[in-house]
Structure 1
Amino acid sequence: MRRLRSKASSDNTRAAQLSDWAIFTRWCERTGHTPLPADPEQVSWFLTEKAAELRPDGRWAYAPSTLTRWVSTINRMHTLAGLPAPGTDPAVRDLLRGLRRERATPPARRTPLLTDDIRTILAAMRTEAAAAGWAERVAERRDAAILLMGLAGALRRSELTGLRVADVVPHRADGLYVTVRRSKSDRAAQGRTVTLPYGSDPHTCPVCAYRRWRQVLDVWDGGGRPAVAELLAVADTGPDEHCCRGLAAGSTRPEGERPLFRPVHRTGSVGAAALSGQSVHSMIQRRARRAGFSEELVATLGGHSLRAGFVTQAVRGGATTQTIMTQTGHADERMVALYSRHHAGLVGNAVTRLGL
């Protein structure tokens, strides 16, 4: 019964709740309070003290959203223990409301990576890999697959890192059918299928990028380091011709539950575990920096830049909201409109008809 109840939340959510609860219990120990049960006044003093803490650079240490999450965790722990949730008291709610009003700031949004941005990054990383050894070419193939599949599929970084090899099925006519087993908006893990089409340019074709990475993955699992070194001994700057056409679902070896995207060591060794979301975030920033993007822009990039890039590029290309939502899985049209306002503000905007 405990095991099934623990599955109600994701592993990341449970880890975050345990971390939040540890912060509260340490504060209680230092101030002589009992963490369970806690009363509303005690929680209010905890929030007030934490809200006043500053970072070394003078900024607030904790955002109102973080404090709100802590209250949710405190409520959750009390509910599990069969105790009244102190954070539901009007005094605590008013305190949080006051913090949000006092420190209202625009949410930090990731800058989208558009198709031309991805093309620039790919060209830089492939040129660099061609001049380096085979180990760098392993990372180039993996990163190219992440960038192109993430952009074409409008995938979150958690969805990319959660992919198993068996989740990607080649389709002779359409490209790739990618099964996303679980996502941020799919708590019940009903899953959805995303289609990645063939690209017109082999350098930016998502199916070619997937095929090149799968080739490395299969060779590594079959022959290890020597086999991969032999495969990538000859330098290349990406596929000059398509290597994906006519690929049938049964043309690859049995998949199993192997993670599709795995860590790549600087020596070229491929790990066995799934790549972390933070690694995807760091990779995107690192590749953009090496491609010549400014430090100011690199700081605003991250794993979500691929998903935001899909929506922004699609809006600029004249795609309708419904066709965009077919790929992104959004349930609310307002989310698509949000991307349009921030990154494609002139598309469908009457201001272009003013004749200025």
Structure 2
Amino acid sequence: MDRSLNNSGRPTQISAIAPPSRPDPREGEERLAPTEDALSLPGHIASSGALDRLVETARDYARHAASENTLKAYAKDWAQFARWCRMRGADPLPPSPELIGLYIADLAAPQGRVATLSVASIERRLSGLGWAYAQRGHPLDRKDRHIASVLAGIRRKHARPPVQKEAILPEDLRDMLDTLPHDLRGLRDRAMLLIGFAGGLRRSEIVSLDHGKDDTPDGGGWAEILEGGVLLTLRGKTGWREVEIARGSSDQTCPVHALTQWLHYARIDFGPLFVAVSRNGLKATGARLSDKHVARLIKQTVEDAGLRPELSKAERLALYSGHSLRAGLASSAEVDERYVQKQLGHASAEMTRRYQRRRDRFRVNLTKAAGL
């Protein structure tokens, strides 16, 4: 029997019902999904065609309140929590801080062969549950002592320094570019790597680019090729921002040259900037690439270039990801930090420093400055 503490400090029963044998993981998930009436007309207002259309418009805006990847992650978090509750004969609705405290404790110290989650993953799960409860009209108070105290203990006992992905430095990027074929697919991948590096872009930002403004409804920005370089207008987490990518010192490593070559030979003048290529490699299709292609491209070219040969293949592939391009720019650009911060779209310099894998440490010697 699972027990916790109620608000008076006395034990309260969470579940006294034996869980059903081998429950269907998908059972009841539709019942727990956000309902369409989460955004609807108030009961005292009569329906009409115009108001019904406004309701649909509001629901459409609500569906775009977060990115597709974020919504998928939150939906998965809720499904996992709902299944955890059913396995213990509990109901996830309405929210119970006592129950959620037990849940995150089980994530941090699970029984059996279940993998232990990191502190960051547990906090992400909590964010997903908070969003899911909010969509159902049940705000979750994460400051409740049954949640906050357990989470504080998990942080204190299990927190570890964040595992950072390896930065792709300019010399690494040159080796990776040399592994690409000299065909249409190679032109595209070369442009993606160089634009991603020079722009300090996330992999989702790379593939969301369109050729022009408002080319597609799912575009996340567009590119404008100017005399001095490429101007990207991107829709980020906190709004729109501009990213300037200047021309390089040689055509082999110039992101602007690589992009113009790809657009010319792929005959792209409208729609998504980076699209799939036909099986024979002779024609660009209109299908936008997913951000997973960027991750696969980085890992494949890292492997083909033989970076970090002292590591095993599994260790090497785990060390690099889409963020390696952003970290590479932050670690390599010998300019004032505020310019790197602006390029990456960070709100604080501290966040930018997290991406800098190599920088001049101890440049300012406060020990000597203090007279020691």
Is residue 111–residue 301 contact of structure 1 (8 Å, CA) maintained in 2?
yes
CA–CA distance in 2 between the matches of 1:45 and 1:329? 38
The 2-side partners of 1:274 and 1:61 are apart by 36
1:336 to 352, 358, 361: 352
The yes-or-no answer on 1:215 pairing with 2:231 is no
Q: Give distance in 1, aligned partners of 2:304 and 2:252.
A: 18
Q: Residues of 1 paired with 2:119 and 2:290: CA distance?
A: 27
The answer (yes or no) to whether the contact 1:284–1:303 under 8 Å persists in 2 is: yes
1:138-217 aligned at under 5 Å gives the runs 138-166=184-212, 167-172=222-227, 174-180=228-234, 182-184=235-237, 186=238, 189=239, 191-217=240-266
Residue number among 143, 150, 155 corresponding to 1:100 in the alignment: 155
Tell me the CA shift for residue 69 of structure 1: 2.1
Change (3 A) 1:308 1:169: same
Identity of aligned residues (%): 32
CA offsets per residue over residues 246-297 of structure 1, 9 Å max, x none? Answer: xxxxxxxxx33x1111234654264433222222011101011101113344
Shift of 1:80: 3.1
- Tell me, yes or no, if the aligned pair for 1:150 and 1:160 is still in contact at 8 Å: yes
Amino acid at match of 2:255: P
Q: Which moved more, 1:68-77 or 1:278-287?
A: 68-77
Q: Determine if the alignment matches structure 1 residue 115 to structure 2 residue 115.
A: no
Deviation, 1:73, is 2.5
- Report the 3-state secondary structure (helix = DSSP H, G, I; strand = E; otherwise coil) of the residue aligned with 2:242: strand
The equivalent position to 2:301 in structure 1, one of 287, 303, 306, is: 287
1:251 maps to which residue?
none
Give the Cα–Cα distance (whole angstroms) in 2 for the partners of residues 350 and 86 of structure 1: 45
Instruction: Measure, in 1, the Cα distance between the counterparts of 2:301 and 2:175.
Output: 10
Q: Output the aligned Cα RMSD.
A: 2.5
Equivalences, count? 296
Q: Please state whether the residue corresponding to 1:178 is helix, strand or coil.
A: strand
Tell me the distance in 1 between the aligned counterparts of 2:101 and 2:172: 47
2:135 to 80, 84, 88: 80
Contact 1:38 1:86 in 2 (8 A): no
Deviation of 1:302 after TM superposition, in Å, equals: 1.1
Matched, 1:348 2:363: yes
Checking the alignment, whether the CA contact within 8 Å between 1:72 and 1:87 is kept in structure 2 is no
Give the TM-score normalised by the residue count of structure 2. Answer: 0.73
Q: Retained in 1: the 8 A contact 2:75–2:132?
A: no
Structure 1 or 2: more helix by fraction: 1
Deviation at 1:165, TM superposition (A): 1.4
2:329 maps to 1:305: no
Letter in 1 for 2:137: G
> In 1, are the aligned partners of 2:200 and 2:329 still within 8 Å (CA)?
yes
- Secondary structure of the residue aligned to 2:116 is coil
Q: Which runs of 5+ in 1 are unaligned?
A: 131-136, 222-254
Give the equivalent residue in structure 2 for 1:65.
Answer: 120
Which deviations, in whole Å up to 9, do the C-alpha atoms of 1:47-86 show, x marking residues without a partner?
A: 2223333897x9x432222222222232333333333525
Q: How far off is 1:30 after superposition?
A: 1.6
CA deviations on 1:127-169 (whole Å, 9 max, x unpaired) are xx25xxxxxx222111110111111111111111111111221
For the residues of structure 2 that align with 1:10 and 1:2, how far apart are their CA atoms?
A: 15
Secondary structure in structure 1 of the residue aligned to 2:65: coil
Runs of 4+ in 1 over 4 A off after TM superposition: none
CA contact (8 A) 1:39 1:86 kept: no
Q: Which has the larger radius of gyration?
A: 2
- Per the TM alignment, residue 347 of structure 1 is displaced from its structure 2 partner at its CA by 7.7
Q: What is the deviation of 1:11? A: 1.7
Q: Give the alignment partner of residue 289 of structure 2, picking from 275, 291, 295.
A: 275
Taking the TM superposition and a 5 Å limit, the aligned residue runs for 1:129-140 are 129-130=181-182, 137-140=183-186
Which residue identity is paired with 1:71? L
The equivalent of 1:321 in structure 2 is 337
Pairing of 1:234-249 with structure 2 (within 5 A)? none
Counterpart code for 1:348: R
Asked if 1:259 is matched to 2:261, the reply is no
Give the letter for the 2:245 counterpart: L
Could you say which residue in structure 2 is the equivalent of 1:5? 62
CA contact (8 A) 1:43 1:86 kept: no
Aligned partner of residue 236 in structure 2, secondary structure: coil
More strand by share: 2
Tell me, in whole angstroms, the C-alpha distance in 1 between the residues paired with 2:141 and 2:244: 46
Aligned partner of residue 179 in structure 2, secondary structure: helix
The 8 Å contact of residues 177 and 190 in structure 2, kept in 1 or not, is answered as yes
